Structure formats: structure tokens, C-alpha cells
Amino acid sequence: MTERLQIYKCEICGNIVEVLHAGQGETFCCDQGMGFIEPETKEQGKEKHVPVIEKTDKGIKVKVGSVPHPMEESHYIEWVAVQTDRGICRKFLNPKEKPEVEFQIREKILETREYCNIHGLWASK
């Protein structure tokens, strides 16, 4: 059974999916069940991953993290997403870009997530 906005990853091919509508079944890829990814919320290791939110004139800026995360070809933040009480906004990043994004949103923020291609899923509330 899944829940809306849960994220699953295939350990064989690397596919990552997000649930838009919860169901009773299991998510499969490459002939096996996909692994549920529980976001990390506490820093560990030398790179910082937990998203930091700053208010701006037009909405918010999300930085990854308290010290800017590397944005190298082999290690970078793939995307940043903000969940509000109305839905979810996501921006994808590329290596060499700054590890931060701006969203023009005014809704109540429930959770902010980011995905590092090496260290996985991180969240802050």
C-alpha cells in the first residue's frame, strides 16, 4: 500500500517515482518491488543536505543546505520540492548551478524536500 507523495526507488536501474494517487498494490520495477525512501531530517557527514527556507518578497528561497552543497557532475542536488497545503512545486537543478531555488508561493508550507544523487532524500518541515 502506498501513500500520496511517497517516493520509491528501484535499486537495479535507479528509477525514482513519486506516488500521485495512493493504491493497495506495491510499486515494481525490473521485476522486483521498489524501495520506499524515507527522507533524512538530521544532518550527518560533512556535506549539508537539510533544506533551509528563507522568506523573500515573492515567496521563498530554499537553500541546500546550511553550508552550500557541492554541485559537481558526480555529486549534486537533482531537485528541490516544496509541499504546501495546496500541492507540490518542484524545480530540477543541474551540476554547476547554485544549490538553491526560489518559489513564488504564499501557501502554508508543510514540508521541503531535496534529492542528492549520492546521499538521497532529505526533508525539513
Interface with Fe ion (CB under 5 A): 47, 116, 118-119
Nearest approach, Cβ of residue 29 and Fe ion (Å): 23
C-alpha cell of residue 94: 543541474
Nearest approach, Cβ of residue 121 and Fe ion (Å): 11
Query: Is the Cβ of residue 47 or residue 107 nearer to Fe ion in the bound state?
Result: 47
Query: Is the Cβ of residue 47 or residue 111 nearer to Fe ion in the bound state?
Result: 47
Instruction: Report how far Cα 9 is from the mean position of its chain's Cα atoms.
Output: 13
Q: Give the separation between CA 106 and CA 58, rounded to whole angstroms.
A: 8
Nearest approach, Cβ of residue 9 and Fe ion (Å): 15
End-to-end Cα distance, the chain: 24
